[in-house]
Amino acid sequence: MKKKDILELKKRLKKDRCTFTKMCGCYINGEKEIILRFRETFLNLEEDDYFKFMEIAKKVLSGTVGNNILELNFPLNDDLTNERQISLLQLKGSQLKDDALLDDFYRAVIDNYDYTGNLLILLFHDAYDVIAKATDNSKLDESEEVFEYVLCAICPVSLLDPGLRYFEEENRIKSRTRDWVVEAPTNGFVFPAFIDRSSDVNTVMYYTRNPKDTHPELMENALGCKPKQTTAIQKETFQSVIKDTFGADEEKAEKVFLEIQDNLSTMIEEHNSVYGDTDSEPIALTKNDVQELLIESGVPEEVTAKIEKNYEDSFGEDLPLAENLIDPKAMKANAQKRREEDLKRQVEILETRLERMKQESLVEAGSEENQDSEIEDKKEEASYDIILQVKPEKVPQIRSQIVDGQRCIVIPIGEDEQAAVNGLEGVV
């Protein structure tokens, strides 16, 4: 089932293109009692009603495939038949003119739809003359087939909140009447499905407004189809399968989940690079694929076995597509976290370098200070005519004495002592 097929049907729901023949419905109160049945020739409706009912029908053809619109299939019994499928075929074939078939369908929905409150069930019949298209997608004059189908919309009916309003005829503001108002459909379907511009009687195109509240009981019991999960539910289920295995260790569970998300994204990119983004079939994630992802993510063997079993129990044969399990928000948050961690590491490296440079500067400053001290000492030495260097024990023996009228420095020299002047021995 492709989006372009759905859009082809939806584009026809305009005043000048709509070909609905009949519209039937029933109104059910909170006790699940039918209090109104009606059948209308759609083209004879008053203009305001015409457009409002058509807007409801268009809602059933809205949303994204896989999330709001699901492709449901009929399981067959031992006689290779499905009772609900046969009933839907009869309903379509009757063009909504058989009251017994209509009541049977209404009752199937009422008894198998988990909802509290009032409901409006609407059925539309249409016969679409599918015009052939050339290879360049241009329309040809001849018709390929007539696609006959029924469209169902299940709409909650709620009571308006109490409030005030302006009454023009009385020129007053006073309490308004609390009317019952039909809301947009929460669920619905098209049967047969319109696939590759043709009728597929083995498939139902199922609509759900809330991807997390699909009403599987309606799929299985009222339509006779095997329930199917939306992308949103598959994503949540997959996350639970991974994280619940780690119990209370939420930090470990989150780390492993994000690692698996990265590896899953890499798997899809590698697949697309080999087969091409548009031509390749999407990856249906098998148990073996999950095992490979877990091994690449460094998950211990005993934990891997638990996750594989939970995955198989949760999805069974209805394998999710790998691309449907990617959580963009989690991926974005993880990428942001990694950027922050990289920045933190870079700051730590810079701080370490600055500290090292600071220490080196202190060492260099100390060396320069010593050199300056030595230079100052040399300058000081250069200002004296006589500079003595003697052993410490000789210092007490040094005295000043007048010899031949001149003041002299007298240093006694023993027989075993040596003296040098400016490095020259034997001068004294």
Is there a contact between 189 and 204 (Cβ–Cβ < 8 Å)?
yes
pLDDT at 31: 93
How far is residue 155's CA from residue 119's CA, in Å, rounded to a whole number?
Answer: 6
- 334: part of which helix (H) or strand (E)? helix 328-382
Please give the chain's pLDDT, 428 residues, in tens. 789 999 999 999 988 889 999 999 999 999 999 999 999 999 999 999 999 999 999 999 999 999 999 999 998 877 778 899 999 999 999 999 999 999 999 999 999 999 999 999 999 999 999 988 766 666 666 677 899 999 999 999 999 888 888 989 889 998 888 889 999 999 999 999 999 999 999 999 999 999 999 999 999 999 999 999 999 999 999 999 888 888 778 888 888 888 888 888 888 888 888 776 555 678 888 888 888 888 888 888 888 888 888 888 888 888 888 888 888 887 787 778 778 888 888 888 888 888 888 888 887 776 666 666 666 655 555 566 677 777 777 777 888 777 777 888 888 887 777 777 766 565 55
Is there a contact between 58 and 13 (Cβ–Cβ < 8 Å)?
yes
* CA Rg value for the chain: 45
For helices 250-275 and 231-243, what crossing angle results, to 10°?
A: 130
Is there a contact between 186 and 155 (Cβ–Cβ < 8 Å)?
yes
pLDDT at 100: 95
CA dihedral (227, 228, 234, 238) positive or negative: positive
Q: DSSP letter at 220? A: I
List helix spans (H) across 112-249: 216-217, 231-243
pLDDT at 60: 96
How far is residue 145's CA from residue 147's CA, in Å, rounded to a whole number?
Answer: 6
What is the identity of the amino acid at 266?
A: T
pLDDT at 99: 95
Token code pair at residue 106: 């209404």
Could you list the beta-strand ranges (E) of 160-224: 164-167, 172-175, 180-182, 187-191, 193-195, 198-200, 203-208
How far is residue 249's CA from residue 247's CA, in Å, rounded to a whole number?
Answer: 6
- The CB density around residue 388, as the number of other CB atoms within 10 Å, is 10
pLDDT at 95: 95
Give me the residues paired with residue 72 across strands.
204
Is there a contact between 145 and 199 (Cβ–Cβ < 8 Å)?
yes
